[in-house]
Structure 1
Amino acid sequence: MKYAFLALPLLALTACEPAPEGEPVTRTRIDGQAGPPAPAPAASETASGTTQVESACRSIIFEDTPLTHCLASPARHRVAMDLGPSGGEPYRSLSALSRAREGAGIAFAMNAGMFDEEGKPIGYYVEGGERLQTLNTADGEGNFHMAPNGVFFGTGDTWEVRSTEDFLANVRERPDFGTQSGPMLVVDGKLHPEISHDGESRLVRNGVGVDEKGRAHFVISNAAISFGKLARFYRDELNVKNALYLDGNVSGLWNPATDRLDTGAPIGPIVVVEKKGQSDD
């Protein structure tokens, strides 16, 4: 996929606006059944001896708020960004991605980064080793510019979250994938200085953090959540020293193992976690 667009310094943060009327964010099943998605199953054998599909995601409760926690391990998974089909426009939805990609090879996928009104990233974006958007260091309003913001990136089995300032100063080689978003939720083990304990802003939100074992923790709330509570979950429960906010209100998850396919307002960049065979951490 090749796009020819340059840095867009102060475009409207479409991802952070309320969902258009008539397009509520919904949690749906792609098997057509009613009701919320089933809890993430563990691998097990049925009475017939067949093995159920193992899910990389689990449903949990943190401070009375339901969350879905999806774990990507370098031993088991590959991480990549996917904005749209080769030569085409951005997918703008997980449903469109699911129609273009074979679900059997995908552990899960999630929106990952803020974007303009066309669905193109407003910050650093690398897909398949090709940089489609340069690092955005401009000042501005909105969550993206709530310094420090940061970058989730990686090459091969090495994945990281760094603040934009840290990335600019210390990362010299272009990664295989990368997406810039903001704000950082946790920086060097401390909550973002401008995030309150449990602020009034409550939305369905998602983020990513990488632990000391190099595993990437993707979290999406299944109900409205504050920045502070999401950040504390990363710091206190997952022991992640650097975590990045990916977005809110438009946040969604595709988990083929549980037939979960979230729909709602249009999205932009998508992170895809692919299976690469079973092995131990």
Structure 2
Amino acid sequence: MRRAVLVLLSALIGALAAPAIRAAPHGGSSGCREVTFEEARYTVCRIDMRTHELRLFLRGPDGSPFGSLSRFLGSPMGRGVAMAMNAGMYHEDLSPVGLYVEDGRELKHLNRARGPGNFHMKPNGVFFVAGGRAGVLETDAFARRRPKATLATQSGPMLVIDGKLHPRFSDEGPSRKYRNGVGVSDGSAAIFAISDEPVSFGAFARLFRDALGCRNALFLDGSVSSLHAADLGRTDISLKPIGPIIAALRR
């Protein structure tokens, strides 16, 4: 059963009358495709940094957080977007938990604190764009190098670190959720992936390392994982609000 149907069933069970996917507005090529890896289904979007610009969005023209892909895409900022995805963990007020750099402005500082939950499952990390190239660095490495990022979002845990899986992942852990994340190989492209069925951290990390060739990859979030892909005519509707949004626009 496809994820759209599963989410719709969840919505009905929760007495929420909202479709899981609506028709996508037009946009440039999103470079997205559906793949199967280890018998699980995913959608993968390869964003070429030479032909697309990545941008982060949190608040709309009225100053309030977008909270959903559909509201973002319906705003002036969402016009012509090829791909969009929720971009990291956030507080109840939808503000980012960790480092957040939007249009070259650091709106939230790097978070190196200890704490509970996935964000604090060390090592966590940062996805960023600097000098027109995409990167993923473990948080301490990012703090040491301090690249001049025009875009950055911090989340956790890291999925792949220099070709190795996060040390706390088992091959098949007990937690199965919809998950989304981002990885890089050589910096010329950012590779975003979302699971179309519940998967473990281990399986999701192996997707990035073994199927997508990413030496470094970062978990963005689970359960609220949502994707807009213009090529696929897909825009997910999360049953819960989302925080920061990352979007690809054709240059």
TM-score (structure 1 length as normaliser): 0.79
Q: Does 1:30 align with 2:23?
A: yes
| Percent identical residues | 44
CA distance in 2, matches of 1:26, 1:219: 22
| 2:98 matched residue in structure 1 | 123
For 1:25 and 1:244, the matched residues in 2 are separated by 30
Q: CA deviation at 1:240?
A: 0.7
1:83 corresponding residue in structure 2: 58
**Mapping for residues 156-171 of structure 1, pairs under 5 Å:** 156-171=131-146
Alignment of 1:1-281 (within 5 A): 21-22=14-15, 27-30=20-23, 54-86=29-61, 88-101=63-76, 105-173=80-148, 175-264=149-238, 265-276=240-251
Aligned counterparts of 1:212 and 1:196: Cα–Cα separation in 2:
27
Q: 1:214 Cα shift?
A: 2.3
Task: Evaluate the alpha carbon distance shift between residue 190 and residue 25 of structure 1 in structure 2; reply closer, same or farther with a 3 A threshold.
Answer: farther
Q: Which residue of 2 aligns with 1:12?
A: none
TM-score (norm 2): 0.88
- Runs of 5+ consecutive residues of structure 1 not aligned to the other structure: 1-18, 32-51, 277-281
Length, aligned pairs only: 239
When residues 84 and 22 of structure 1 are mapped into structure 2, their CA distance, relative to the original with a 3 A threshold, is: farther
How many Å apart are 1:159 and its aligned residue?
Answer: 1.2
Deviation of 1:238 after TM superposition, in Å, equals 1.2
> Which entry has the higher C-alpha Rg, 1 or 2?
1
CA distance in 1, matches of 2:15, 2:110: 34
Over the aligned positions, Cα root-mean-square deviation in angstroms equals: 2.4
Q: Which structure 2 segments of 5+ residues have no match?
A: 1-10
Q: What per-residue deviation string (whole Å, max 9, x for no partner) do you get for residues 155-176 of structure 1? A: 3421110000100011153x11
The residue type equivalent to 1:220 in the other structure is I
